[in-house]
């Protein structure tokens, strides 16, 4: 057992059995922002990304600076060209800063200065190259674009709208699926300190997707909107339509190339793919265009982008085409098949992004989103190397390209064949399917490196699209499938089981990416890192993806059980008898009449009786507070809420709620460490309570707790002292009994030791009861000072004093699990709602967690 460093021991004041809450410290937490101490430094570990990312941006003058804002409300920066990432959220704020940033933009005169706008209208400012950001203004409505004059960083433009909402805002022949009341842009002439509204056109539902200031003449500004291209010659004060030459004039994206020495400025635009009936088939309009006269007119450079669908034998691709056609004509598939039964000989997909290599005006990339947009052709990204004369599918992934059934056709187009994309743990899943995922963004850095996001991984190409490789994970050794994340996780981190019968094997539950275990680092140079290996999920086609709770057999560590709350195998108990190599469903406990990708019912506290392992328990929670993916199903068609038990190794289950108050929401259940037939249950509804059973759940009785407590979110028993800890509080911060309470006499009396408005969890170290961690969440429905200082807290003296320890945690408002290490006193573990997992090292620690 590794001991705490001497300087840390000096902080300990000794265990005070009657310790009261540190009122002075918590009064400060309740009244003002408190900075985290340097007592613990957190380090995120894998897997990297593992989620969708639509916004990814490269600095215009510093090739090493990249920003990204994935969809789980975490935001990251890299200052080494994407090798490593750090959260840029304020670790001592409320956790709500920098949410789903739509655009990062930096000055070209001062590389440290930049602005960022969120989709919800929050404007942020940085003066240290994106390492920290300050909220400067909040605008009403939705926002999609932020641009700066490349010659004068006093002048900024901002575009309202929902232009980039690829999941919900789709274009059809009559308009689009989502329109918002806007017809303006915003302009600032003082670096974003104040803004003026300027009308564009006569539309009230104008979405502004791109604003480009001509670097050769700042008076000229070009805007790509859902109503067409607009152009200004007086720095955005007045605007005129400028779509001359465009076949549809409904741009999806726009980019530019500028050679300062040659004074060469070229605009590139992807126009909306539009279909028109022609006899028994359709013609296609739109495509790729460029402008060499500063946006006055446009020339078609679509070239050979069109594909002969008769040569594509994949039924999945053809079905996507029919669905796309039906959406465009706003009808159903049966109708369009009847009206236009012949497949077109030249058709291009629904492309939504365009980028040009800043070092080569002829190298142009396009991207399409096959999952969320109405795209249908293979190839996550397409490319032209000759200015648009010829095009190839340049990012090729999955079964369609692996099987090569249409290779002769692609060869006839001089298109490379086979796959050329490399993923981390997603590789087996990507290889098993045709291209049903979506490319979420497309970005090119100043040195010509192109980036895309296929499915849930960021890929880059440094060889002009010949091959693409993920940048989110580092493999410890080639072929090991042990991954160390680069720090940009977008993973829903869930429950962590740290005692599994095998000392160095910790089990980690995730949303959407299955079950993981810690893995050997091998010769990996960073010994403070943590490597992980997926043992269920994408590595097994059809495996379970969203794991809610996990347990290990007390007598055989190779026997693992888990429950899933959504996606594949939801509502089932799944079992492995070979340490996670293979899995089978052994019970169906819950079902609901909603989509299988949706939430079912949240399941918590799966556990096995160590005296009689035939006995298993868990609970279903009616009022989820920390869960990741939406609410429970509206109605369960099988099963219910409360305490579940099984007496035949999990094959059959029954609800046993006798004694609970009506409508009780049981959030956590725990077993007495000395008497396995004795269990405690925490009820977190408005009539919250602590319950106890001495007969394996036959009958539950209330434990007397202080009357001011409204909701009990968690219960924990220290195995050494037998002290009971309950974590309390509600989403509105109106629970007068909030915080952490401790009983040193089996529930007869209680003392508050931690005072924050909404506490999800409190646990002690299994090897030192003086070490306590507490997880104070943000009360999302509260206002005022109740939203101050959420996050992770640590006491080294049994609750006498506390330390805020949020350093390098990006989602301190939504920590889903927080635990001391079971074998070392200088290590802590954390799971975040949308930033994966992190390991925390006590200050002064020099050995990595797995070093002997």
**Cβ count near 84 (within 10 Å):** 15
Nearest-angstrom CA–CA distance, 125 and 109: 16
Q: How many residues does the chain have?
A: 852
Residue 780 phi, psi dihedral angles, 5° rounding:
-70, -20
**Cβ count near 437 (within 10 Å):** 23
**Which H or E run includes 101?**
strand 101-106
- The secondary structure of 176-224 as a DSSP string is ES---SB-EEEEESSTTSS-EEEE-TT-SB--EEEEEE-TT-TT-EEEE
Nearest-angstrom CA–CA distance, 817 and 495: 6
| Grouped pLDDT means (10 residues each) for the chain, 852 residues | 40 42 94 97 94 94 97 96 97 95 97 97 98 97 97 98 92 91 94 97 92 98 97 98 98 97 95 98 98 98 98 96 98 98 98 97 97 95 98 97 97 98 96 89 97 96 98 97 97 97 96 97 96 96 95 98 96 98 98 92 97 98 83 93 98 98 97 97 96 98 98 98 98 96 97 98 98 97 91 98 97 97 98 96 95 76
Report residue 86 CA to chain centroid gap.
15
**Which H or E run includes 682?**
strand 679-683
Give the residue range(s) of CATH 2.130.10.10 domains in the chain.
6-43+476-842
Q: Which residue, among 627, 463, 527, 453, has the nearest Cα to 48 in the 3D structure? A: 453
pLDDT value for 813: 96
pLDDT value for 629: 63
Residue 28 phi, psi dihedral angles, 5° rounding:
-65, -45
**Cβ count near 218 (within 10 Å):** 15
Residue 401 phi, psi dihedral angles, 5° rounding:
-80, -30
| Three-class secondary structure of residue 143 per DSSP | strand
Q: Residue 50 contacts by C-beta under 8 Å, 6 or more apart in sequence?
A: 425, 456, 457, 472, 489, 490, 491, 510, 512, 513, 836
pLDDT value for 363: 98
Nearest-angstrom CA–CA distance, 628 and 71: 12
- The secondary structure of 837-848 as a DSSP string is EEEEEETT--S-
| Three-class secondary structure of residue 244 per DSSP | coil
Strand pairing partners for 200?
A: none
CATH 2.130.10.10 for domain 6-43+476-842, yes or no, is: yes
Tell me the two tokens of residue 492.
Answer: 């829903």
Nearest-angstrom CA–CA distance, 843 and 153: 42
Nearest-angstrom CA–CA distance, 397 and 395: 7
Tell me the two tokens of residue 58.
Answer: 């490269």
Tell me the two tokens of residue 323.
Answer: 């669905």
Burial class (CB in 10 A: 0-12, 13-18, 19+), 581: exposed
Q: Residue 483 contacts by C-beta under 8 Å, 6 or more apart in sequence?
A: 46, 47, 48, 424, 425, 473, 474, 475, 476, 531, 532, 533
> Is residue 684 within 8 Å of 711, Cβ to Cβ?
yes
pLDDT value for 21: 87
Nearest-angstrom CA–CA distance, 527 and 515: 23
pLDDT value for 835: 95
The sign of the dihedral angle between the CA atoms of 492, 495, 501, 504 is positive
C-alpha distances (whole Å) from 621 to each of 36, 175, 605, 681 are 32, 43, 10, 11
Nearest-angstrom CA–CA distance, 195 and 296: 27
Strand pairing partners for 683?
A: 666, 689
Tokens 């104040």 locate to: 194
Strand pairing partners for 443?
A: 451
Can you give the pTM of this predicted structure?
0.95
| Three-class secondary structure of residue 27 per DSSP | helix
């Amino acid at each position: 057992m590794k001991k705490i460093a001497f300087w840390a021991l000096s902080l300990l004041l000794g265990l005070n059995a009657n310790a009261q809450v540190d009122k002075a410290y918590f009064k400060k937490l309740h009244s003002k922002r408190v900075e985290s101490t340097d007592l613990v430094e957190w380090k995120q570990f894998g897997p990297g990304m593992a989620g969708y990312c639509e916004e990814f941006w490269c600095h215009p003058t510093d090739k090493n600076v990249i920003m990204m804002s994935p969809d789980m409300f975490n935001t990251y920066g890299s200052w080494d060209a994407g090798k490593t990432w750090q959260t840029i959220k304020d670790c001592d704020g409320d956790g709500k800063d920098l949410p789903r940033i739509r655009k990062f933009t930096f000055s070209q005169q001062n590389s440290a200065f930049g602005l960022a706008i969120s989709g919800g209208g929050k404007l942020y400012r940085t003066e240290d190259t994106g390492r920290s950001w300050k909220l400067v203004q909040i605008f009403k409505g939705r926002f999609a674009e932020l641009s700066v004059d490349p010659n004068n960083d006093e002048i900024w433009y901002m575009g309202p709208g929902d232009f980039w909402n690829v999941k919900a805002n789709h274009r059809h022949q009559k308009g689009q699926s989502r329109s918002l009341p806007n017809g303006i842009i915003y302009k600032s002439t003082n670096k974003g300190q104040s803004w003026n509204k300027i009308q564009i056109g006569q539309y009230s539902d104008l979405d502004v997707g791109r604003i480009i200031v001509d670097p050769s003449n700042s008076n000229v500004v070009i805007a790509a909107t859902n109503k067409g291209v607009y152009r200004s010659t007086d720095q955005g004060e007045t605007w005129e339509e400028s779509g001359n030459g465009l076949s549809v004039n409904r741009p999806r994206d726009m980019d530019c190339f500028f050679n300062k020495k040659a004074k060469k400025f070229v605009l590139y635009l992807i126009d909306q793919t539009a279909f028109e009936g022609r006899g028994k088939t359709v013609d296609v309009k739109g495509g790729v265009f460029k402008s060499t006269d500063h946006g006055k007119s446009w020339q078609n450079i679509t070239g050979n982008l069109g594909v002969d669908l008769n040569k594509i034998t994949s039924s999945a691709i053809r079905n996507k085409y029919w669905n796309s056609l039906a959406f465009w004509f706003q009808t159903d598939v049966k109708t369009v098949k009847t009206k236009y039964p012949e497949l077109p000989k030249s058709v291009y997909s629904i492309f939504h992004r365009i980028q040009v290599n800043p070092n080569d005006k002829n190298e142009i990339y396009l991207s399409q989103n096959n999952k969320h947009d109405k795209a249908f052709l293979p190839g996550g990204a397409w490319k032209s190397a000759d200015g648009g004369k010829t095009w190839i599918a340049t990012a090729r992934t999955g079964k369609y390209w692996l099987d090569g059934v249409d290779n002769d056709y692609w060869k006839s187009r001089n298109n490379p064949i086979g796959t050329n994309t490399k993923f981390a743990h997603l590789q087996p899943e990507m290889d098993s399917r045709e291209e049903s995922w979506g490319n979420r963004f497309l970005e090119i850095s100043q040195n010509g490196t192109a980036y895309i996001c296929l499915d849930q991984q960021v890929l880059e190409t440094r060889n002009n699209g010949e091959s693409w490789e993920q940048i989110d994970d580092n493999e410890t050794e080639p072929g090991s499938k042990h991954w160390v994340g680069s720090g940009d996780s977008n993973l829903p981190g869930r429950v962590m089981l740290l005692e599994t019968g095998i000392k160095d094997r910790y089990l980690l539950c995730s949303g959407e990416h299955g079950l993981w275990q810690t893995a050997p680092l091998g010769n990996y140079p960073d010994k403070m890192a943590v490597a992980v290996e997926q043992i269920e999920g994408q590595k097994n086609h059809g495996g379970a993806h969203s794991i809610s709770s996990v347990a290990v057999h007390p007598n055989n560590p190779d026997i693992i059980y888990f429950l899933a709350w959504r996606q594949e195998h939801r509502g089932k108990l799944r079992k492995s008898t070979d340490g996670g190599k293979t899995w089978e469903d052994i019970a169906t406990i819950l079902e609901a009449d909603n989509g299988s990708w949706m939430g079912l019912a949240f399941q918590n506290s799966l556990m096995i009786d160590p005296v009689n392992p035939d006995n298993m328990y868990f609970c279903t929670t009616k009022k989820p507070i920390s869960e990741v993916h939406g609410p429970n199903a509206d109605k369960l068609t099988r099963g219910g809420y409360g305490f579940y038990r099984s007496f035949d190794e999990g094959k059959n289950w029954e609800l046993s709620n006798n004694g609970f108050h009506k409508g009780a929401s049981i959030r956590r259940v725990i077993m007495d460490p000395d008497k396995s037939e004795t269990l405690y249950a925490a009820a977190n509804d408005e009539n919250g309570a602590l319950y106890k059973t001495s007969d394996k759940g036959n009958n539950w009785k209330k434990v007397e707790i202080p009357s001011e407590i409204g909701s009990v979110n968690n219960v924990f028993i220290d195995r050494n002292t037998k002290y009971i800890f309950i974590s309390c509080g509600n989403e509105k911060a109106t629970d007068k009994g909030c915080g952490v309470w401790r009983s040193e006499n089996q529930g007869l009396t209680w003392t508050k030791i931690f005072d924050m408005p909404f506490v999800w969890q409190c646990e002690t170290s299994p090897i030192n009861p003086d070490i306590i961690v507490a997880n104070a969440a943000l009360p999302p429905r509260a206002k005022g000072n109740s939203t101050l200082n959420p996050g992770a807290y640590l006491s080294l003296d049994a609750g006498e004093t506390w330390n805020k320890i949020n350093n390098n945690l990006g989602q301190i408002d939504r920590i889903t699990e927080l635990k001391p290490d079971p074998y070392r006193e200088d290590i802590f573990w954390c799971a975040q709602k949308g930033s994966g997992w992190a390991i925390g090292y006590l200050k002064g620690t020099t050995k990595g967690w797995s070093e002997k």
